[in-house]
Amino acid sequence: MPKILHTARYTGLPLEILQSACPEGFSVKTLDEAAHEQLVKEAVDADYFLVSGRLSIDKAVLDNAPHLKMIQRTGVGTEMLDTEEIKKRGIPVYVNAGVNARSVAEHTMTLLLACLKRLPQVNKQTHEGVWKKQQTGVTTRELYGKTVGLVGMGHIGRLVASMLQPFGAKVIYTDVIRQTDEVEKNLSLTYCSSFQELLPQVDILSFHCPLTKENTDMLNQKTLALMKQGAMVVNTARGKLINPGDLYDALKSGQVRAAALDTHYEEPLKEDYKLAELENVILTPHIGGLSYEAFESMMAGAMENIVAFEQGKLSEIEGKRLL
């Protein structure tokens, strides 16, 4: 029976969903402890890796996985994969492109609107019995008429752009690949040829691109200074796109009015995470793509790919192959 090794630790409902998605004729094992040593140990008899979490799939893991046929990501991020070591061994890698895009897009909109309406602060005040209707109301902002800059226009970026349309926001974007004229027209998009060109125009900046060596820390002291005074920042992509110390300084100075972050430079957060000290920062624990519906779809889609691979039906899933 082929063994699928899940490279993280699930308990409770996530584990139930994972186990229920396991196809007939396969076994699935999740880690007893989310530790690299545990991953190396369990890899010894694994036929497939189902990769989630942040444990590195590195040389030590691969050296101890002599039966490994294929690596399947639950999502699309690949920063935990040592791609050079994987390529050396000729092990194919498949991703779940677009499977949780709607969940991430909805979470982006939630964070964006929560920033504008100052929902955490207002909710806290009201729970504490503070009723300052006019004084509080005039500190909030509307989305209508604002310029939203999207960094990345893949599955998620396009969904966010479509969700912004009914609000009457102006949407501009930058990406390494420009969208077609038809897509730009249908989504009312304006293209910017660079990140630096986009920044001075935006009231709200939202990230939807993968992390690369080239764009790590792309929002930093220098680029933050290009933004309008009082702009907002939303990140549901990858935490290392933003330098957290520089963002902290910009929030303290008022250069940035508010930020909402679902992804963070280091995960899980450390106790001394300075951004957590600020009232004008909304933090969520990288849950944008993990709605119940998206999680079920991620597990089902990943298992379908593994079954297709095992049955030799490569052509049916070739479009999802990364390496």
Give the C-alpha distances (Å, rounded to integers) separating 306 from 33, 154, 182, 184, 185. Answer: 24, 25, 35, 36, 38
Q: Which of 286, 296, 304, 310 is catalytic?
A: 286
Which of 114, 158, 165 minimizes the C-alpha distance to 144? 165
The question of whether 238 is a catalytic residue gets the answer yes
The question of whether 102 is a catalytic residue gets the answer no
Residue 109: which H helix or E strand, with range? helix 101-117
CA dihedral over 73, 78, 81, 83, signed as positive or negative: positive
Burial 270-282 (b: 16+ CB within 10 A, else e): eeebebeeeebbb
Cα–Cα distance for residue pair 176/153, rounded to 1 Å = 9
Write out the E strands in the chain: 3-6, 27-30, 48-51, 70-73, 93-94, 147-151, 170-174, 189-191, 204-207, 231-235, 256-261, 281-283
Q: Which of 16, 33, 267, 277 is catalytic?
A: 267
Extract the tokens encoding 11: 């308990």
Give the C-alpha distances (Å, rounded to integers) separating 298 from 32, 223, 292. Answer: 21, 35, 10
Cα–Cα distance for residue pair 319/94, rounded to 1 Å = 9
Q: How do strand 231-235 and strand 204-207 relate by DSSP bridges?
A: parallel
3-state secondary structure of 282: strand
How many residues are present in the chain? 323
The question of whether 267 is a catalytic residue gets the answer yes
Asked if residue 255 lies in contact with residue 224, where contact means CB atoms within 8 angstroms, the answer is yes
Q: Which of 6, 238, 257, 264 is catalytic?
A: 238
> Known catalytic residues?
238, 267, 286
